[in-house]
Chains A and B, each alone.
Chain A
Amino acid sequence: MVVEFWGQEFKVNTILGCIGGFLIAITSSMFGFGGGPFMVPLMTVGLGLPMYVVVGSSLLAIFFNTVMGTIRHYQFGNFDFLFFLIMFPAAILAGFIAPQIAKRVSPIWVKRVAVVGLLILAFSLLGLF
């Protein structure tokens, strides 16, 4: 597929994009997280697209997955409405707070902290300590 975006053309391997997106969607809907951090590398590294094409389009692709995943989880009775009401305002509020903090912290340090935090969480989930 040829992607034309703001006057530039890119050749994209559609099959790789679809297979990758499919696998990411299965895992993300199965475990209930957003697929963003995996979709962006897939589209930049795997499909060779520049960041400015990826930001909006990957969000659109993930949105499809989130809508379908939500419907399916609801059908299987995995949705607790009260629990949702507790978490939803917190998630929205976080969307307003985060940009305020983002101006004051270095993104590299946030990522470094995240690497350490994620590894600790991962090892405790794997039962290593």
Chain B
Amino acid sequence: MKRYWLAVIIALSATVFMMYQNGAFAAKPKEPITAEAKTEESKIEASTEGITAQLDKTSLNNGGKITITGKAPEGKPVYIEIWSDEKVRASRFDSELDKETGKRPYIFYITQEMPAYYKLFVPQDFKETLEKEKKEGRKWSVSKVLRDTGAAAVYSAPAKIKIDRYQTSLFASVIGSRGELLSQMDAGENRRRSMQLVKARFRDLPKVFSADVLVEPDGTFKAEINIREGLAPGKYNVVAAVDKDTKAQPLTFTNNISFPTMYLSNAGTSLNIFLPFLLVLGVATFGVLMGAGGGFIINPLLVSLWPLPHTIVAGTVMPTVLFSQGSGIFNYSKIKFIHWKLGVTIGLAMVLGGFIGPKLTELITLDQYKFVFGIILIILAALMFWQTTPGYLDKNKKEQAILKEFQKRAKESAEKKKSS
């Protein structure tokens, strides 16, 4: 018994130490307040020189079509950059082999300032270029598309976001830390990394680039832009540009959403709230019936049906079962049906696992998340199949009878105690 309590104390102090190491109770990372400075900056940049633009609407209702027309200097390509004021988080774990040094960098990049919507519209002449890049599949790169379409000089909104980078290591992951915060990057490096984060956040090429700008030989241009459903509400900025120095006055429009569509600010997605409600209701009911929590089915469905980041899905589905687990424990404890020593011992091992796990979620991409989840589901399906085999059913029948008998006895003794 003594040895047991010693182990408990060691485990507890190790947990507290890890929390302390990770600065879990320390202040949250400070948000840089540079918004004012930035708007001033963009005002200076937007000096109109030979390019004008107009929008046909000032507001949209959960997406829709909006037309931009204008005039640019003759014979020049026109690019239109649109981004939302609403910001979301984007992160990327760089573990690819560096060709120059032959080492893996293991650097984790994260920003809180990625626009919830960002898209660059290029002239229609580049349609084929975009098609070709699309064939690269998952390997497409923002910087290559920017180079090939000549839009590199126009890419500006995400280039200045504040990006934090952490040097992770196996040890840091084991103690559940993001790693060592590295120094700020210079402007050029920040710009380069922001492109990778744009891809990490929006994933598909058609979501970031589209060849929609029709430029006439005399310099007038027109673009019919389709803003898709389920985007962030609020102000959107539109800038038409020819190159770095020739930019039109920034235009704005608002995207309105109304109930029952609501905006999930951490996930950066608007959705009709009844759809996930009904989905969770159906799946969780089935989950209880089959004897496995609904999380196994809900999580992959949520990330497949909506553009929700897997980190948000994992982190938000988990707490929903807290209440049912808590009430289950309470009910079992009332009839003394929990072996506390056994539960706490394994529970302490699980606390350590629960400490490390959420850290690993952000290190993997959505594709890796789906892949591993697929394998987990196959294992689960095998377990479920095993539970329908005759041998298991036979054994289970006896066990259930004993379980019921013990539960009855436990209830009786609990009641006896109450009445006496």
Which residues does A use to contact B, with CB under 8 Å? Answer: 1, 3, 5-6, 12, 14, 17-19, 21-38, 41, 43, 50-53, 55-70, 72-84, 86-95, 97-99, 101-102, 105, 107-108, 110-115, 117-119, 121-127
- Picked from A51, A58, A72, A98, the residue with its CB within 8 Å of the CB of B289 is A98
Shortest 6 CB-CB contacts between residues of A and residues of B: A25-B353, A78-B315, A32-B314, A29-B357, A60-B343, A73-B315
Inter-subunit contact B403/A55 (CB<8 Å): yes
Inter-subunit contact B362/A25 (CB<8 Å): no
Closest beta carbon of chain B to A65's beta carbon, Å: 4
Convert B255-278 into 0s and 1s, putting 1 for each residue whose CB lies closer than 8 angstroms to a CB of A. 000000011111100000100111
A91 CA / B388 CA spacing, docked (Å): 26
Whether, in the assembled complex, B317 has its beta carbon less than 8 Å from a beta carbon of chain A, the answer is yes
Considering only residues 364-420 of chain B, those with a C-beta below 8 Å from chain A are: 369-378, 380-381, 383-385, 387-388, 393, 396, 399-400, 402-403, 406-407, 409-410
Inter-subunit contact A78/B285 (CB<8 Å): no
With A82-B265, A118-B381 already in contact, 12 other A-B pairs whose C-beta atoms are closer than 8 Å: A6-B409, A30-B314, A31-B372, A33-B317, A65-B351, A78-B266, A89-B277, A107-B289, A118-B384, A121-B301, A126-B370, A126-B375
Inter-subunit contact A66/B355 (CB<8 Å): no
A30 CA / B120 CA spacing, docked (Å): 34
Considering only residues 107-155 of chain B, those with a C-beta below 8 Å from chain A are: none
Closest beta carbon of chain B to A31's beta carbon, Å: 6
Contacts of A23 in B (CB 8 A): 353
Contacts of B293 in A (CB 8 A): 33-34, 36-37
Interface size on B, residues (CB 8 A): 108
- Given known contacts A3-B342, A17-B349, A30-B314, A91 and B294 CB-to-CB distance under 8 angstroms: yes
Whether, in the assembled complex, B316 has its beta carbon less than 8 Å from a beta carbon of chain A, the answer is yes
Closest to B382 in A: A115
Closest to A100 in B: B285
Inter-subunit contact A64/B314 (CB<8 Å): no
Closest to A67 in B: B322
Inter-subunit contact B288/A94 (CB<8 Å): yes
Inter-subunit contact A122/B280 (CB<8 Å): no
- Given known contacts A55-B403, A76-B362, A65 and B347 CB-to-CB distance under 8 angstroms: yes
- Picked from B315, B345, B350, B373, the residue with its CB within 8 Å of the CB of A14 is B345
Inter-subunit contact A76/B320 (CB<8 Å): no
- Picked from B301, B315, B337, the residue with its CB within 8 Å of the CB of A32 is B315
- Given known contacts A76-B362, A95-B288, A69 and B357 CB-to-CB distance under 8 angstroms: yes
Binds A, one of B161-169, B188-196, B227-235, B325-333: B325-333
- Given known contacts A18-B346, A91-B284, A118-B384, A51 and B176 CB-to-CB distance under 8 angstroms: no
Closest to B385 in A: A115
Closest to A30 in B: B357
Closest beta carbon of chain A to B281's beta carbon, Å: 4
